[in-house]
Amino acid sequence: MNVRSFLARKRQGKKISMVTCYDASFARVLNETEVDCLLVGDSLAMVIYGYPTTVHATLEMMVRHTEAVRRGAPDKMIIADMPFLSMQQGKAHAVHAAGELIRAGADAVKVEGWKGIEEEIAHLVQAGIPVMGHLGLTPQFYYAFGGFRVQGRDEASRTYILEGAGRLEALGCFGIVLECIPSGLARVVTERISIPTIGIGAGSDTDGQVLVLYDLGGVGLEKPFRFVRRYAEVGLAVKEAVDRFVEDVVEGRFPTREESFEDE
């Protein structure tokens, strides 16, 4: 999978699958699956580091985790998030940050929003860095939105998303993530532009779907978002496994003679 084949999928009417991954261990597992591409998301600030929002993800974090995912998944297309404010400090800063992510192993970068950063997006594309856009609920705008809220329900937000999709396509983006917007709006965007749309909480009419691996695998016992489908309960399985381990330790059942080294 690469940018050209990514674009070809839309023309062929074939859905694109994407999973968010943060580390080499899970990346090795995903490298053996049929998933099309991996996203090293700035959501790692929340999922891995326990912060309340994604704005705490730094470029150093994103580079470190992109390197880890690339080492674990050498055969997959990898897209890395541009962290908070990396696009708002001028073209030189943007191309430096994106360059670091590409050198770390990403095949492309993803940017949130579009107004105020159009020149920076164009500059990245002109520098040979593939760029994916992100509209709707853009988590880096958490404080501006007043929380994690569905976008595109009012006329102003709907217009911003529709206009933004056209602008991102014109600027040279090869795809757009649509997050937490009404399915009807996602369908309109998908039909209007020639580049693929990847949905998350945006209905089934986008050109592909993305979920966080931890969410779809049930890692973590908190209640998932309504748009998350859990395909496994890994978190529960780990909890039960650890409880069995503790019980075996307390009762003296672990380790057995076969699991121990004897004196020669």
Burial category of 25 from C-beta neighbours within 10 Å (exposed 0-12, middle 13-18, buried 19 and up): exposed
Residue ranges of the annotated binding site for 3-methyl-2-oxobutanoate are 42-43, 81, 110
Closest CA to 131 of 114, 144, 153, 155: 114
Question: Both tokens of residue 216?
Answer: 């779809």
Question: Both tokens of residue 192?
Answer: 């209007």
* DSSP code at position 111: -
Residue ranges of the annotated binding site are 42-43, 81, 110, 112
What residues act catalytically?
179
Q: How far apart are CA 237 and CA 104, in angstroms?
A: 33
Residue whose structure tokens are 């395909």: 231
At 175, is the secondary structure helix, strand, or coil? strand
Does a cis peptide bond (omega within 30 degrees of 0) precede residue 196? Answer: no
Q: How far apart are CA 54 and CA 47, in angstroms?
A: 9
Residue ranges of the annotated binding site for Mg(2+) are 42, 81, 112
Residue whose structure tokens are 């075996």: 248
Question: Both tokens of residue 62?
Answer: 């994103």
Q: How far apart are CA 161 and CA 114, in angstroms?
A: 9
